Amino acid sequence: AYHMLGMVEMKEKNFRQAFGFFSKAVELDPALVEAQLELGKLFLAGKALDRAREKSALLLAADPANKEARLLEAGVLLGEDRDDAARTLLTTLIEGGFQHPDAYFMLASAYDRQKNLAQVEKVLQAGIAANPDSVPLHLVLVRLYAREKQFDKAIAETEAVIALEPDKPAHQLMLARLFHDAGRTDAMHDVLRNLLTNSPEDETTRIQVAGFLMRAGNSEKAEQ
């Protein structure tokens, strides 16, 4: 029950409360693998690498085939800047059939540190092929393409994100920003116009569009 309460708090992004519930769960039942794993993830996110390593070691001692625990171990290795060891472990996991999006995130991050952008792109594309509905993977690829000024590719990936989550204005605004950066002003205005047309009473969206236009240097349209 405490583990399940912790998962509820994780979904609500109440990480401190989640940590308390998971801690209580493993206090009552140290063999509760799922709660131990979630604690390890929280330690990793908080950069408490020693504590995260303790959790991965605990889980792997109980079950050396636990792929989630191996993924946690890879996260610790990345946190310690042991990129070669992390890449080896993550590649082994993925080639062994473990296709969790986080495995691809971590592997792409390891290659990004090497400035190996071709390999970063390859890993993210493989991750999307294995997890086509993973919006976060698509978004990371969008940021990579935008950073490298490959706007056509960034726009195509953003359109894929919009197809997955059509009701999120943030994705439409991201598409407008990419059109702006690519010098495609007419396409940018089309996106913003459609966004306002589809949400005419949405005050927040209207403010966000006005703010976007202000930053783009178009104060007259922002005022309108």
Q: pTM value?
A: 0.86
User: Measured in whole angstroms, how far is the alpha carbon of residue 137 from the centre of its chain?
Assistant: 6
Query: Predicted confidence band at 202 (pLDDT cuts at 50, 70, 90)?
Result: confident
Place of tokens 């060891």: 85
CB atoms inside a 10 Å sphere around CB 46: 12
Residues in CB range of 55: below 8 A, 6 or more apart: 36, 37, 39, 40, 43, 69, 72
Statement: residue 12 has pLDDT above 90: yes
Are 206 and 183 within 8 A, CB to CB?
Answer: no
Nearest to 138 by CA among 111, 163, 169: 163
pLDDT in tens, 133-168: 999 999 999 999 999 999 999 999 999 999 999 989
| pLDDT on residue 200 | 79
| pLDDT on residue 64 | 94
| pLDDT on residue 199 | 80
Q: What is the mean pLDDT of residues 94-99?
A: 95
Report d(CA 116, CA 148) in Å as an integer. 12
pLDDT in tens, 37-80: 999 999 999 999 999 999 999 999 999 999 999 999 999 999 99
Angle between helices 67-79 and 101-113 (to 10 degrees): 20
Quote the DSSP letter at residue 152. Answer: H
Are 140 and 124 within 8 A, CB to CB?
Answer: yes
For residue 96, the surrounding DSSP H or E stretch is none
